[in-house]
Structure 1
Amino acid sequence: MERTRNTRRRRAILQALERSGRALTAQEIQLACAGTEPADLSTVYRALAALCERGLAVKSVRADGRACYRLPPPRHSHTLRCELCERTVSIDLCPVEELAERIGEDTGFVITGHRLELTGRCPDCMKKEESDETP
């Protein structure tokens, strides 16, 4: 019975990450799952560790040092990630394809995929910063 509950909890966590469209802290995940699969924060952390270990979630660290979690990108993906709010945006343009091919030729590697993540600040966070600086 415990195994089924853990499976439901992990599924609820993955659904919360999918719905969010950005990386979430464990506390945010706990709140997002509270209505369907309530759990103590330590239980959420254990479930997240298991999901990360299986490659179903990715842990990263925000600029403020807080750990956050998101769904992993596909094998060939390009994203922009806001370093303040963790919002991610997919980039359709692939600037790496030609470079990866050259690197493969130079090293003898067969390149099977790549991921590119650019970090910065999204327009909403920039506006917020500007309004916070205005006296």
Structure 2
Amino acid sequence: MAASVGFKTSVDQACRAAEEFVNIYYEIMDKRRRSLTRLYLDKAALIWNGNVVTGPEALTNFFEMLPSSEFQVNMLDCQPVHEQATQSQTTVLVVTSGTVKFEGNRKHYFNQSFLLTAQSTPDHTVWKIASDCFRFQDWATS
């Protein structure tokens, strides 16, 4: 019974972290993109439609090249990642999908997966992106 209570606590923590993170991430993406790299670990990897971007400077340059955006998240799912798979680091897998309209382009469906890792200080926990995979779902449009 104690193990299931621990797992339920992990799931609840993952859900709270995912909802908070998604609200922050897409607001920053749409309105304050210059601040977006602060959400990533220094060694984080972004895979954007098959193109790999790593490192704070490369992420900053990449995000600044994107046209302004309007993201609408239609689905959010999350789960804790077992500590055996992450060297005892508290980690959450977050998956979103929805639509995005970049200035000058038509609306696209997208899917995005994040691996978030907890960075704890004595006062609070901050979730940082360890891995981010974004993909347009153009096959879904007719």
TM-score (ref. length: structure 2)? 0.25
In terms of fraction of residues, the more strand-rich structure is 2
TM-score (ref. length: structure 1)? 0.26
Larger radius of gyration: 1
